[in-house]
């Protein structure tokens, strides 16, 4: 019923990162995710319907509190091309990943990854990395898969994920995670 941990991107840093990305890659549009919900820049094209009351406006109008995640979308580039350009433009002030087949980047605070969050949670429960099994399919999973003691990439995963994981599972459509878990829990 409440967040256990919030590691947001402060407004000044977030706005600066967005400005640098937009200058380097014209056509970039942004959305901000906060504990209160999502808000969209006017040029951000949503892929799934959002409630009509979803805040929309200019970046400075929608980004008024620390964002847990900034979403950056480009309608003309491939995900890999956009990620490469974004990393060059932004540097290491934030973490940039993607997890969809569309050109949508997810920008989190510096050091905020699935791995760092899982590592912190596991440590608070006395669990060490070698006791963790993780599953993934997209580049946003890479830090977590390399941190976990045992990692599975589903068969239809991104090539980088397939290369990084210690093991492979059947595809998502074949209930790959469930199949592996059944085997591990026997």
**pLDDT, tens digit (0-9, with 9 covering 90-100), for 16-27:** 999 999 999 999
Residue 83 banded pLDDT, cuts 50, 70, 90: confident
Q: What is the pTM of this model?
A: 0.84
Average pLDDT in the chain: 92
Where does the chain show beta strands of DSSP type E?
29-34, 37-41, 56-57, 69-73, 94-98, 104-109, 133-136, 150-154, 167-169
């Amino acid at each position: 019923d409440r967040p256990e941990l919030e590691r947001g991107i402060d407004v000044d840093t977030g706005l600066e990162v967005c400005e640098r990305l937009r200058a380097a890659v014209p056509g970039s549009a942004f959305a901000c995710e906060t504990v209160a919900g999502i808000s969209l820049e006017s040029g951000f094209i949503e892929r799934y319907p959002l409630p009509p009351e979803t805040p929309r406006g200019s970046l400075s109008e929608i980004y008024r509190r620390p964002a847990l995640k900034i979403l950056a979308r480009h309608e003309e580039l491939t995900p890999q091309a956009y990620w490469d350009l974004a990393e060059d433009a932004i540097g290491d002030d934030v973490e940039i990943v993607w997890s969809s087949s569309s050109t949508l980047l997810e920008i989190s605070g510096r050091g905020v990854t699935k791995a760092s969050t899982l590592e912190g949670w596991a440590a608070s429960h006395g669990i060490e990395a070698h006791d963790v099994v993780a599953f993934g399919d997209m580049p946003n999973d890479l830090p977590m898969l390399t941190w976990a003691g045992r990692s599975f990439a589903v068969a239809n995963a991104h090539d980088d994920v397939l290369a990084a994981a210690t093991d492979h599972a059947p595809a998502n459509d074949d209930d790959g995670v469930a199949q592996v878990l059944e085997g591990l829990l026997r």
